[in-house]
Amino acid sequence: MADGHQRAMLAFVLAQTLLLGLLAVQVARGFVGSAGAFTGLSPVLRLALLLVVLTEILVPLAVYVDVARRTDDPDWVWVHAATMPVVNLLGLLAYLDDRKRSRE
Domain extent, residue 22, equals 3-103
Do 15 and 45 contact (CB within 8 A), yes or no? no
Q: Which residues have a Cβ under 8 Å from the Cβ of 73 and sit 6 or more positions away?
A: 1
Tens place of pLDDT per residue across the chain (104 aa): 556 677 888 888 888 889 999 999 988 888 887 777 777 888 899 899 999 999 888 888 888 888 888 887 777 777 877 777 777 788 888 888 888 888 77
What gap in Å lies between CA 79 and CA 87, rounded to an integer?
A: 12
Domain count, the chain: 1
